[in-house]
């Protein structure tokens, strides 16, 4: 419950400001997981690891879609037939908890994967407490692995997001423009000297 409350506070408080020039900022490694910040999802922290079969698993905060502030990304270089942008109905399980989601195929330079947005903070909590993850497509298992050290990974992801939030909160507001002509093109001043 402590995790749930803390995660909800983080989601509500995050502004969208960049932290670095690169899209990914490495935070820390813990128990076989990398913890990092991704600028492209509104400075959301995430955890990522890879497995012997080449499967990559990533879980994190995404602040670009307010209705779905969390995501899972699973991918593998062998999944060459995935069509970028297409949705695939995939069944997932964390130990005995099961759910179905429409995953969107995404393509990176090293692999193709499935991106799943979700809004249930309880899923992040389950990730921290469960031991096994499994994904199937059309009844065929596409990924199955043990979530070793997921508690430490989730704790560090929260610490990362807390630090990102604190850093962003300390940044000064950008200066307001002194240009009197800047603004929406369709906005007119009360006495526009250039109005025809």
Q: What is the CATH number of domain 2-167?
A: 2.60.40.1880
For 131-189, what is each residue's pLDDT tens digit?
A: 899 999 999 999 999 999 999 999 999 999 999 888 888 877 767 777 767 766 555 55
Q: Decide: helix, strand or coil at residue 125.
A: helix
41/61 Cα distance (integer angstroms): 8
Q: Within 10 Å of residue 184's Cβ, how many Cβ atoms? A: 6
For residue 19, name the pLDDT band (cuts at 50, 70, 90). very low
What percentage of residues in the chain have a pLDDT greater than 70?
81
What's the whole-model pTM score?
0.74
Counting beta carbons within 10 angstroms of the beta carbon of residue 157, is it exposed (0 to 12), middle (13 to 18) or buried (19 or more)?
buried
**Nearest by Cα to 25 from 166, 164, 134, 173:** 164
Tokens 């942008």 belong to which residue?
85
Beta strands 132-137 and 140-146, pairing class = antiparallel
Residue 106 CA to residue 82 CA, distance in Å, equals 8
Asked whether residue 59 carries a pLDDT value surpassing 90, the answer given is yes
32 falls in which pLDDT band (50, 70, 90)?
very high
Q: Report how far residue 2's alpha carbon sits from residue 9's, in angstroms, rounded to the nearest whole number.
A: 11
The burial class, CB within 10 Å (0-12 / 13-18 / 19+), for 149 is middle
pLDDT tens readout for residues 88-118 = 999 999 888 888 999 999 998 778 999 999 8
Q: Which of 30, 53, 29 is nearest to 111 (CA)?
A: 53
Domains of the chain, residue spans: 2-167
DSSP 175: P
Is the pLDDT at 37 greater than 70? The verdict is: yes
DSSP label at residue 131: S
pLDDT at 196 over 90: no
């Amino acid at each position: 419950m402590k995790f749930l409350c803390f995660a909800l506070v983080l989601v509500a408080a995050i502004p969208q400001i960049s932290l670095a020039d690169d899209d990914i900022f490495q935070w820390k490694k813990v128990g076989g997981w990398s913890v990092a910040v991704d600028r492209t999802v509104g400075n959301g922290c995430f955890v990522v690891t890879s497995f012997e079969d080449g499967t990559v698993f990533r879980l994190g905060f995404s602040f670009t879609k307010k209705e779905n502030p969390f995501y899972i990304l699973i991918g593998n270089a062998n999944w060459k037939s995935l069509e970028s942008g297409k949705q695939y109905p995939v069944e997932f399980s964390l130990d005995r908890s099961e759910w179905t989601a429409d995953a969107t195929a995404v393509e990176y330079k090293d692999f193709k994967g499935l991106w799943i947005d979700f809004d249930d903070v309880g899923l992040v909590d389950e990730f921290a407490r469960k031991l096994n993850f499994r994904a199937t497509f059309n009844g065929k298992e596409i990924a199955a692995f043990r979530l070793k050290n997921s508690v430490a990974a989730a704790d560090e992801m929260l610490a990362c997001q807390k630090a990102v939030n604190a850093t962003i909160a300390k940044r000064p507001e950008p200066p307001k423009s002194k240009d009197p002509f800047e603004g929406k093109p369709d906005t007119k001043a009360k006495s526009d000297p250039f109005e025809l």
